[in-house]
Amino acid sequence: MRVLMIAGNWKMNTTISEAIELVGEMLPGLDEIDGVEKVICPPFISLAIVKELIKGSSIRLGAQNLYFEEKGAYTGEISPLMLADLCEFVIIGHSERRQYFNETGEIVNKKLRVALKVGLKPILCIGERLEENEAGRTEEVVTEQLGSSLAGIDYLGDLVIAYEPVWAIGTGKAATGKQSNETIGLIRSHIAKLYNESFAQEVRILYGGSVTADNIAEFVQQSEIDGALVGGASLKADQFLSIVKQTSEIAG
């Protein structure tokens, strides 16, 4: 049985005081919802204070990125060792990083390796662009991304995968539950080929892309979809609470 997960990616939003306020608004309601793993991923500079604020609660903490070296002369970067001290999860390979920061499959692979080495749980993002989708290349693109991201990695620990069609991120134009269920089924079959069937059945695969309180049910009702990575709607306490609450009700 895969435990459903809802992860909130705050992206480059919230000052430290806004992060404190947002956690204050979410915490009481979120803490009491069971049956769903609840993760929030604030910006790096707020991780330490948010860690204190959620201490003793059922809310888990994640970062949005990391560098692939453990330490050294890499001005401005954040190392996996720094994060392992602060949080449990780390988002790797988000399409915004691939698009704006030229993250290639090789870089994603290095980041995954180091995250697993220091005991962070990666949330690996993959997904096709609009033109790839329209050209019917979705399966080819996601399997290529899986292959390059996971190349040579034997042990994936508690890896979580987020299938995020790039055309659905931040656009208000979500995929349908049926479409994403099919693609996630393909991703799971590909994981079975790369690893084995039992791991493929265990690994959680989330949907991401314009998830809101109005459409979350359509996704988490699907047999292959194990929750959602939520961007914009995770910045609104009432929306995020409703997304988590509906997921918990569907999880039963």
- Please, what is the minimum distance in Å from the beta carbon of residue 190 to ligand PEP? 21
Active-site entry in 37, 94, 218, 224: 94
Minimum Å gap between C-beta 239 and ligand PEP is 10
Closer residue to ligand PEP, CB minimum distance, 124 or 230 = 230
Q: Which of 96, 103, 128, 164 is catalytic?
A: 164
Is 190 among the residues known to form the active site? no
User: Whose Cβ is closer to ligand PEP: residue 79's or residue 234's?
Assistant: 234
**Binding residues for ligand PEP, per CB under 6 A?**
9, 11, 164, 169-170, 208-211, 229-233
Q: How far is the CB of 170 from ligand PEP (least distance, A)?
A: 4
197 classed as catalytic: no
Query: Which tokens hold the place of 249?
Result: 């009700």
Beta carbon of residue 205, minimum distance to ligand PEP (angstroms, whole number): 14
Catalytic residues: 94, 164
